[in-house]
Copies of this chain bind each other. A is one copy, B any other.
């Protein structure tokens, strides 16, 4: 989903400013599977307005910068519907954490442990956030998405917690048997 469609989606729930859209993406349900920065949201909103898919009403505020509240037009609603009906592309996951984990045997075990504990902490935090989600989920889709996220995060946390110790032990054993991690790694050839 490009930023424009993302904006249409957020605006389908409630009228909002560019700033609020970004906040919603950063903190709300969407934060788990979509993202967009200010630098892409404002131009997207401008383009959507030019296409007639949204209309922006300028609201002067005292003591605060003016805000431009956008709301979906009929055409915008139809555009969202059309985007929703197109077969969704495959999920794109980009995880530096996982990449690093694959090379765990090249890391000092303490460092590996720290990474795993940090991951567990992150997961616990986000499970808690999803669990007592601030917004009241009325639409069934939001209930589904929240449950999905919780199921995934809980499975991850369970796995990290149960696999952590044996994993680190195996890495230590691997390091003891082969080249030691980091220190000396410079000297050790490994081409098979």
Contact = CB atoms under 8 A, between A and B. Distances in A.
Contact of A88 (B77, B96, B154, B158): B96
Instruction: Count identical subunits in the complex.
Output: 2
Interface in A108-160: 111, 115, 139-145, 147-148, 151-152, 154-156, 158-160
Contacts of A64: none
A142 B102 contact: yes
Contact of A34 (B6, B99, B160): B99
A106 B81 contact: yes
A47 interface: no
B163 A144 contact: yes
A164 to B, nearest CB: 9
Among A34, A99, A102, A106, chain B packs the most CB atoms within 10 A around the CB of: A102
A20 B107 CA distance: 26
Given A96-B89, A97-B88, A102 B156 contact: no
A94 B34 contact: yes
Contact of A102 (B81, B104, B145): B145
A61 interface: no
8 contacts: A14-B192, A33-B94, A78-B186, A81-B185, A85-B111, A88-B95, A88-B100, A91-B96
Given A14-B192, A33-B98, 9 more contacts: A77-B185, A84-B103, A88-B95, A88-B99, A92-B95, A105-B140, A144-B163, A147-B163, A152-B159
